[in-house]
Structure 1
């Protein structure tokens, strides 16, 4: 049984876990596949609850119900918009003005890197990482000022969250992997599990690590 450690938690940022993917490349619901002795979703939720006083789980409208994880669960307010719809829902439902968003299939979240992200530009509407030249919309911070932009993108069918950085009305801060290399030199925090091969590799990696997220 994975437990939440008693540590100082952020009380002004809401943690959001997106758990509504279709798992098409995996071929089965990856939320409940195990890595390091715990389901992917549970690993992620535990890691987030250690960092945030409020954690929300967001699922797709056609997802199976999720219960018993100590967090409110909301279905997408905008259907068929993938992660963008989940981000919009998390922002809308959060009690705080900013949210830190991750996907439920990220088994190697590092608390020290999450806390580092929380210190980047508190006035920014978007704080997004860049790994190997690619923007990473998961493991990122968003403010409620981004809600109108997300609504416009959803209506236009522009579902790449990364496109938010092009929005002139938003204050965006991009942080490169070199800036957090002292905390996560291989950027393992951004690694996710999409395919059976990814799952096998994650299980092998977890076997070398302590059995905590």
Structure 2
């Protein structure tokens, strides 16, 4: 990774998922000999001035060094609850929220999103018609709206982007295609087949 200045935002690793389709805890999946959790945590710590890990509950076998660990303020609210908790915990006015199942995260893509529009409350990619809420920038202004969504059991983060009081900047495939690894940064692991393909791709990388 290049020795560039750290981004003045908080990197938030949302790592409390149920991993239903995978059938086992994604946090311990290994790709290229290293867990996806460790890969993501290292990348965030090397990119942002602060990194926070959000968990649903304590887990002894998960090793976290050099950053704060916080636990869901709103239980059973999925990724939306993790995002809300990360916003509350962050010392910076903006966060980059990411899930722990994305082995191809690219620092160049993350930095692009962080600097894409500093005035926006949300900077989110829309690829093939789908928003990517767990690879996106959020301002602390989003917290009150996420809390209200959780209270009414509306747990789809994408609904936040329709909030008229928030300024949302949407990044498209054309914006990302020229960046190194651009679109691949958003690829995640949902099934054992996804894991096999990801492991092969990373193992084959020089």
Structure 1 residues 190-212: Cα deviation after superposition (integer angstroms, max 9, x where no partner):
111111011001111112225xx
Aligned residue in 2 for 1:187:
183
TM normalised by structure 2 equals 0.94
TM normalised by structure 1 equals 0.91
Shift of 1:7: 4.1
Is residue 124 of structure 1 aligned with residue 120 of structure 2? yes
Is this contact kept in 1: 2:106–2:182, CA < 8 A?
no
* Matched ranges for 1:100-115 at <5 A: 100-115=96-111
Is this contact kept in 2: 1:124–1:172, CA < 8 A?
yes
Aligned residue in 1 for 2:129:
133
Is residue 208 of structure 1 aligned with residue 204 of structure 2? yes
Shift of 1:186: 5.9
Give the SS at the match of 1:187: helix
Structure 1 residues 91-120: Cα deviation after superposition (integer angstroms, max 9, x where no partner):
000000000011011111101111111111
Distance 1:103 1:91 in 2: 14
Distance 1:184 1:137 in 2: 21
Distance 2:104 2:172 in 1: 18
Give the SS at the match of 2:132: strand
Shift of 1:26: 1.2
Cα RMSD (Å) of the superposition? 1.5
**Equivalent residues, number:** 205
Is this contact kept in 2: 1:106–1:189, CA < 8 A?
yes
Distance 1:207 1:67, change over 3 A: closer
Give structure 1 stretches of 5+ with no counterpart. none
Aligned residue in 2 for 1:55:
51
